[in-house]
Amino acid sequence: MPLLKDFFMKYKAVVFDLFTTLTSLRHLKDAPGRFSNQILGISSEEWSDALFNRSRERLTGLITDPVDIIRDIAWKIDPSISEDILNSCAKERRLRFNYCLKHPPAGVVESLLAIREGGYKLGLVSNVDVIEVEGWKGSDLSTCFDTAVFSCYEGYMKPDPEIFGLCSTRLDVAPQDCLYVGDGGNEELIASAKAGMTAVLTSQFLQDTAPEKVMEREKTVNHHIRNLDEILPLLGQLEG
């Protein structure tokens, strides 16, 4: 039975992005292995461009084999990279992402649980391939969410509007009743706002990985937090 306070809450759910919002490989110093671009012998800029801007097939589940995923990205940059190197990269990438999900940064799980205890449902919308999210089940992060929508399982990816609709439907909450929190990659803040959600930029990890993007993305939203523990106070202001 709904609590009396629930009838007066403007927001019913908080929806999160995953990587560079709740956790980040670059902030886990003990993660095993090397960064993929280091193994492949290409620049981090080239790798990031191909990874995020030219690999829709992996993100929508059309490519699921770990080595095929690496090959599809790497050969767009350098088709001479050998199969041995591709295999090595796929193996280390798998280890690193599993570690990343099983070892979230200090305070993240506690912040998520505090939001749930505040009476809000929690959802997740993430652009990932099957290897990046392999370690999700059984992780402490997974226990915090009412639903998790991963692009590789759904065939949609941010900024596709359908992926935000899927999340709100599974939460049984209208988009207008959702706060969306993310670092702003894949135009997610603009897209979530167009879908009806209230977009919030978080720069907790982005400030370290790409500080030049914080000011740029800050212009697209009305709300900007620098730590996840600022979400409940922000909700208090918005509810008021």
61-72 per-position pLDDT tens digit: 999 999 999 999
- 18 band by pLDDT with thresholds 50, 70 and 90: very high
Mean pLDDT of 15-43: 92
DSSP lists the bridge partners of residue 179 as 14, 198
Report pLDDT for 26: 84
Distance CA 74, CA 58 (A): 13
pLDDT at 126 over 50: yes
Report pLDDT for 6: 52
Whole-structure pTM value? 0.93
Report pLDDT for 4: 37
Burial 29-67 (b: 16+ CB within 10 A, else e): eebebebbbebbebeeebbeebbeeebebbbbbebeebe
4-27+104-239 sits in which CATH class?
Answer: alpha beta
Top pLDDT among 3 and 42 is at 42
Distance CA 93, CA 115 (A): 31
pLDDT at 114 over 50: yes
- 2 band by pLDDT with thresholds 50, 70 and 90: very low
Report pLDDT for 8: 59
Output the six-digit token pair for 98.
């599993």
60 neighbors 148 (Cβ within 8 angstroms): no
Q: Where are the domains of the chain?
A: 4-27+104-239, 36-101
pLDDT digits (tens, 9 = 90+) for 143-181: 999 999 999 999 999 999 999 999 999 999 999 999 999
152 neighbors 129 (Cβ within 8 angstroms): yes
